[in-house]
Amino acid sequence: MIDRYTPEDFAAIWSEENMFRTWLQVELETCRVLTERGWIPKESMENIEAKAAFSVERIKEIEKVTHHDLIAFTTSVAEFLGPDSRYIHWGLTSTDVIDTARGLQLKQASEKIIAAIDELRRVLRERAQEHRMTLMMGRTHGVHAEVTTFGLKLAVWYDEMRRNRERMVRASETVSVGKLSGAVGTFAHLAPDVEAEVCRRLGLKAAPVSTQTLQRDRHAEYLSTIAIIGSSLDKYATEIRHLQRTEVREAEEPFATGQKGSSAMPHKRNPVKCEQISGLSRLLRGYAVTAMENVALWHERDISHSSAERVILPDATSVLCYMLRAMTRIISGLVVHPERMLKNIALTRGLAYSGQLLLDLTRKGVLREEAYRWIQRCAMKVWDEDKDFVLTLLEDPDITKVLSDEEIRSVVNPELQLRHIDAIFARVL
């Protein structure tokens, strides 16, 4: 991923230096367990502990000849260790090290993603409480429906991010797995208890069964979870983008002092960060598709997944955390215009309360279908002739036979539609 969308802490997690460090961590833990079982002399293990290291530049140099990065790595380590290097990588195959180490890197990345989700939820909760009763027009199909509150919109997002957090925790557990079962998963050279102990010390679970690789349904689930979270962020960004449209202008993403919106039009304040999030979410959905393609490997393994994962795993985790942190800043600094929200509610001249009138008429004994026809007749006059809804109702002979003027006028009351808001917030927040 380009630097623009790579947080510094994720650049560190997915750096070559950290990748080789986690490889060495797997190798050393294996050596320690084998030493405790008497397979490696204690003196040799002391030397390994003291001298085990690698050189990134030397690994690259060796790989130009070997065309195999793990062999280049073990060769570099051997140059630091001397004769005791014969115990490094004993009984292991390349994927034992690579897949187990990748589990460590994914666990590191997941912890930061979960922390970013927590921070976004904290901000969503605060802004939802702040705007619990900030009235705005609810829209269905992009058309005015009934009155809602901006706080309720944010509460919906807050609860969605709760589910996303749960998904991310599960997905992290799914990929925080290691394996040391050898070339085809039969433990031909190391026993299952060695694998179990090494993984335990690394903070990973041992795969119950594997081939030469961990099965890639795990990684497909992980990338699918990332794509779902990204799609949620896309939804929030898309909503803010609509609310920032000039004709709506109910909320705006933060616009910093000195920020420029257009090279040609000095008046512009564009929702560029939200648009960025919407764009990046498309990448995440694409990575999920690639991860699903990686599930079908030949026999006990092939490496058709490897090249793709070198791109999609660092990119997806980095981009998602970038998006989460960006959305947190957007929500925290979101500019809300309550007065514009009230003006927009008034645009349809009272039509938002037609549902309440329908209920009032049925309570008086009018058949629902008949009441609906009366109200729709009045509503069409409001749409087509720009009339006031209540005044139109007061002129309708069918409706006025059933409801008094006072009862008709009392329909325009947002408190009726919002009387359960506190109960909703009590359930969610």
Residues with a known catalytic role: 141, 262
Contact (Cβ atoms closer than 8 angstroms) between residue 317 and residue 109: yes
The dihedral through the CA atoms of 127, 129, 130, 133 has a sign that is: positive
CA-wise closest residue to 225 among 167, 300, 156, 293: 167
Tell me how many degrees the CA angle 182-188-192 measures, rounded to the nearest 5: 75
CB-count exposure of residue 187 (10 Å: 0-12, 13-18, 19+) = middle
Q: Which residues contact residue 98 at a Cβ distance below 8 angstroms, ignoring those fewer than 6 apart? A: 23, 70
Question: CA nearest 271: which of 340, 332, 335?
Answer: 335
Give, in order, the Cα–Cα distances in Å from 91 to each of 94, 95, 190, 311: 10, 12, 6, 29
Q: How many Cβ atoms are within 10 Å of 405's Cβ, its own excluded? A: 11
